Amino acid sequence: MTTQRLSFYKSLPKIDLHRHMEGSVRISTLLEVRREHGMPVPGTGQLNDLVQIGQDDRFTTENFLSKFMTLRQFYKSPEIIKRITRETIMDAAADNVRYLELRFSPVALSREENFPLPEVMDWVIDSANETQNELNILVQMIASVNRHESLQLAEQIARLAVDRIERGIVGLDLAGDEARFSGLEFAGIFREARQSGLHVTIHAGEWAGPQSVRNAILHLQAERIGHGIRVLEDPEVAELARSRGIPFETCLTSNVQSGVVQQASAHPLPKMLEMGINATINTDDPSISQITLSDEYSYACEVLNISWASLRERIIAAANAAFLPEDKKKAFVEAFSSEVNRYNLKKNR
């Protein structure tokens, strides 16, 4: 790709609806934490190999998830958690992301040092709000719970999130190993979360098939689907998602690195768009995957041959899918769309 074309993708105003804070930690920060806390690196090899996916790495679900297990050992203090929050937002802003929904797992951040969950959530919220006020970026937060963890933990996180709606937590997310845990037992928690004012996004159709997407939509109150690329395996589920206009938070590189998509050129995003599914483009875990949202936009156009017009539509679709109050969303989408549309004639392909 020419420097001019790469510069074009970097210049685009962007929206990221699916970025995990725990997968966005700078290597330089991890090295500092390791040195300051005298931490041994578990296993063999360099730190990078333990927390990032390289070109020669194994593209499997197990290997991808193993990076998070290493990262959990670094959440050593409130200052580190606040720093990671701040740097994640700074890195998004540097890539010209204008609106970021940052999801984080309070349990993951708290477990290593047994921090109280309410305090962990407050550290993230305070750091995020302070940082976005300094930069040209709007940040809202999504609290994430995992399928393999207890209902009691999920209920606690949901209650704490509801209590913090006025401070910037807008949604509740269900993540984790959907191949072994369906998530249906969490339905009551997510129903109550919706009723209490939280939005809901559900990881589904990534490591499990289209039935996971169906369950997320019909039983878990999903307003958006995280990943969801296996929805195409069942035409009825695909039609359910299409007819309801459910936004899908696709994450291209991540899907390849986790072994869900076997090769880069085979990603189903073009087919999803052809079928009228409301797919958006996001990062998932920028540090683990060693990518930016600019890289994902480039991937969509340069590898998957998504047209510029279609990419522009997907960027604006992400704006429309934002978990913003309707009065604020209207003004935001209008201003953002106007800016994106000014790039109509600038793409040099």
Q: What is the pLDDT of residues 56-103, one digit of tens each?
A: 788 988 889 889 999 999 999 999 999 999 999 999 999 999 999 999
**Overall domain count for the chain:** 1
Let me know if residue 283 belongs to a domain: yes
Nearest by Cα to 120 from 197, 112, 285 = 112
Distance CA 31, CA 52 (A): 14
Strand order in the sheet with 199-204: 14-20, 97-104, 138-146, 169-175, 199-204, 224-227, 248-250, 279-281
> What percent of the chain has pLDDT above 90?
83
Domain that holds residue 135: 3-341
User: What CATH number is associated with residue 261?
Assistant: 3.20.20.140
Strands (E), the chain: 14-20, 97-104, 138-146, 169-175, 199-204, 224-227, 248-250, 279-281
Let me know if residue 301 belongs to a domain: yes
Mean pLDDT across the chain, nearest whole number? Answer: 93
Let me know if residue 36 belongs to a domain: yes
What is the structure's pLDDT at 228? Answer: 97
Nearest by Cα to 328 from 99, 141, 70, 133 = 99
What is the structure's pLDDT at 257? Answer: 96
Let me know if residue 347 belongs to a domain: no
Let me know if residue 166 belongs to a domain: yes
Catalytic residue among 22, 206, 249, 296: 206
Let me know if residue 258 belongs to a domain: yes
pLDDT band at 326 (very low <50, low <70, confident <90, very high): confident
Distance CA 82, CA 124 (A): 6
Greater model confidence, 46 or 92? 92
As a whole number, mean pLDDT of residues 285-289 equals 97
Let me know if residue 244 belongs to a domain: yes
Lowest average pLDDT, out of 41-50, 157-166, 215-224, goes to 41-50
What is the structure's pLDDT at 55? Answer: 79
The per-residue pLDDT for range 214-252, each reduced to its tens digit, is 999 999 999 999 999 999 999 999 999 999 999 999 999
Let me know if residue 348 belongs to a domain: no
pLDDT of 42 > 60? The answer is: no
Strands 138-146 and 169-175, bridge-based pairing: parallel
What is the structure's pLDDT at 232? Answer: 97
Q: Is residue 206 flagged as an active site residue?
A: yes
